[in-house]
Homo-oligomer: A and B are copies of this chain.
Amino acid sequence: MDALSQLIDALRCLPGIGHKSAQRMAFYLLQYQRQRGLHLATCLDTAMRMVKHCERCNNYTTEQQCNICVTQDRDPALLCVVESPADVVAIEQSHAYHGYYYVLMGKISPLDGIGPDDIGLPKLEQCIINHNVMEVILALSPTIEGQTTMHFIHTLLKPHALQITQPAHGLPSGGELEFLDGRTIGNALNNRANVVL
């Protein structure tokens, strides 16, 4: 197989990229972006070799601890438990949270053979004891697996004298009421609050 066919084949490791898209990407890089293609090769190689998990929160980092865990100006009493590093990025972009994180790197999914020990839950308990956490926010996806994981963590942490919370469920910002599903509207009505203007 020649270098071009190998590149097209290798590009298919990217999520959502089939043969046709891979071919388009390869031809595009060869015709217009050789320098950036070479740069991508270097970045890929470095990241695949160097990026590991933060020893405190499990998030991706090239150091021993990630750049969130090493900052001193966050509230150590707050710990937000999320499924993936992408969730950390999303919450950080909201600028609404100033505590630390714990990244599960997955969720409990018996159908896929993923149990509590596969997503490092024992380490979570240790993390809570080590850092004097007072409140744990379970920011897990409102899916079956996410809710299963949430219930499991809730049971696990109950013996510790902790406040265990979850983000509010209600109307998403900017959405039109008529296009929302019944469950979201139901949750929003059940959790209604006094109007404060």
List chain A positions with a Cβ less than 8 A from chain B. 2-4, 6-7, 9-11, 13-16, 21, 23-31, 33-34, 36-51, 60-62, 67, 84-86, 89, 105
Contacts of A9 in B (CB 8 A): 43
Please name the residue on chain B nearest to A84 by beta carbon. B27
B14 x A25 contact (CB < 8 A):
yes
Tell me which of B4, B6, B27, B51 contacts A4 (CB under 8 A).
Answer: B51
Q: How far is the CA of A90 from the CA of B10 in the complex (A)?
A: 20
C-alpha spacing A158/B24, complex, angstroms? 34
Question: Complex formed: what's the CA distance from A41 to B61 in Å?
Answer: 20
**A9–B36 CA distance with the chains assembled, in angstroms:** 10
Which label, helix, strand, loop or mixed, suits the secondary structure of the A interface?
helix
Interface CB pairs A-B, < 8 A, 20: A3-B47, A3-B62, A4-B47, A4-B60, A6-B46, A7-B43, A7-B47, A10-B39, A10-B40, A13-B33, A13-B36, A15-B28, A16-B21, A24-B86, A29-B44, A31-B105, A40-B41, A40-B44, A41-B45, A41-B48
**Within 8 Å CB of A6, what residues of B?**
43, 46-47
Residues from chain B with Cβ under 8 Å of A13 in the complex: 29, 33, 36-37, 39-40
B48 adjacent to A37 (CB under 8 Å): yes
Q: How far is the CB of A50 from chain B (nearest CB, A)?
A: 5
B49 lies within 8 A of A29 (CB):
no
Q: Which of A4, A23, A27, A50 has the most CB of B within 10 A?
A: A4
What is the CA–CA distance of A13 and B39 in the complex, to the nearest angstrom? 9
Smallest distance from the beta carbon of A83 to chain B beta carbons, Å? 11
